[in-house]
Structures are given as structure tokens and as C-alpha cells.
A = this chain, B = another copy of it.
Amino acid sequence: MLNRNRIVTAAVELIEREGADAVSMRRIAAELGVGVMSLYNHVPSKAALLDAVAEDVLSRIGFADDPSAHWTERVRIQARAFRRIAHHYPRCTMVVVSRQLSSTAGLLPVERALATLREAGFDGQEAVRMLRMFIAYVVGSLLREVGVTPTFAPVRADAVVAEADPALFPVLSELRPHLDSCDHDEEFEFGLELLVQAMAVRAAARAEAQAGREEGGRGGERAGRGGARQ
């Protein structure tokens, strides 16, 4: 019996196996051993199917949230969880990223992330902005890692850089060894750490201001929750 789940799963597998370009309704139908139009009894359109694929992949994010850990560590964990599924479904990741989906699939991660940020001491506005910034970084990184990469992300610009005239691009030529190689794990962790530290600094500044205000109000007590360490 054909159903929506079987179709989505087949689509995911097909995308991973042969790339998003290879996906067609006929191809998926063949994969399932059914007629093309049978699919439309369960999926309204190809676009909707791709949305479902994105949603499906997104919903696979694993959560091993450890409430006892420091919030900075929890942020790191969540970012890595996101990255992990992206690496598990690299080609589907492109579908996820390039598709503006509207469903509740990606809502749980958002809820968790916001809760973590509130816990860190940020107010609503700050928490949302931090999250948006974080998502931007993670998504941008994944775009680079997953292979579909704009030139300016000098990952595999090897060939290009090799051709570049050292006179025209002196710095670029000098840094070629670093541009050629790219350890995705290290790169990701580098940026992640920088971001987390920046957030921690912000949180500390916030706590400081808070303490100052309280001090001005009734004196004493230089509090320090939401530490900036590590």
C-alpha cells in the first residue's frame, strides 16, 4: 500500500543516492514500483513533496540536551546536532536550505534553543537575535561544507587560486596553502567557539549592567550569574 511516508522516504533516498537533480515524480514512482499518478493521491505536488523531504530531514535532528551543562556547552551541542544530520543527508541539506518551509517540523529545535538562551540571561529580543545569528552561521557553514559552494567561500578554490596571478592577488597567493586545505570540523568549531565566546561576553555584560542597576537601586551585591568563562 502506497502512502505519504513511503514516498517521502523514497525521495530522500533517491536524492542522497543520485542528487536532487535526478529527482522526478516518474523516477520516484519507478523506485516504488507504482504508476506516476498514484503519487498524487498522497502528495499534492512535487514542490510539496520536496517540502516534506525537508521537513522529514529536519525532524531527524537528535536532541541529547543536557540541562545540567553550562548554557554555552548546550549551545555548542545543539549546533553540532544540527550539523550532524546535515552531514548524514548532505544532498537533502541543500533542499532543506533552499526551501522556505512552513511547518512545525523545525519548531522543537527553535524552542530548545530559545530556552537555552533565555537561561543564559538574555531577554526576548536578544535571545531571538542570537538564535538568528547562530542559524545564519550554521546554515552558511553547511552550505560550504555540503559541497554546493559559492566561489567566494574559498574552500576548493584551489584550481582558481592556482591560476590567479600572484601580482594581482598577493595575499591570496601567499595564503594558498591555507585556502587549499579545509578541515571542515576544525573550521566549524573555530567559528562556533568564536560565536559562543562573543555571546558569553554579551551575557556577562548584561549581567554586569543588571547588577549595576540593582546596586544603584539598593546597594551591595555584585552578582555574576551567566559567566563569560570558556
Contact = CB atoms under 8 A, between A and B. Distances in A.
Contact of A144 (B108, B135, B143, B202): B135
A81 B105 CA distance: 34
B137 A153 contact: no
A15 to B, nearest CB: 15
Nearest to A151: B106
Given A137-B136, A191-B129, A97 B143 contact: yes
A9 interface: no
Given A100-B147, A171-B115, A131 B154 contact: yes
23 contacts: A58-B152, A99-B150, A100-B147, A100-B148, A101-B151, A102-B157, A102-B159, A103-B151, A103-B160, A107-B160, A109-B152, A110-B152, A114-B171, A124-B175, A132-B144, A132-B154, A133-B141, A133-B190, A135-B152, A137-B191, A139-B139, A139-B144, A140-B140
Interface of A: 54-55, 58, 94, 96-111, 114-115, 118, 124-125, 127-129, 131-133, 135-141, 143-144, 147-155, 157, 159-161, 163-164, 168-172, 174-175, 177-179, 182, 187, 190-191, 194-195, 197-199, 201-202
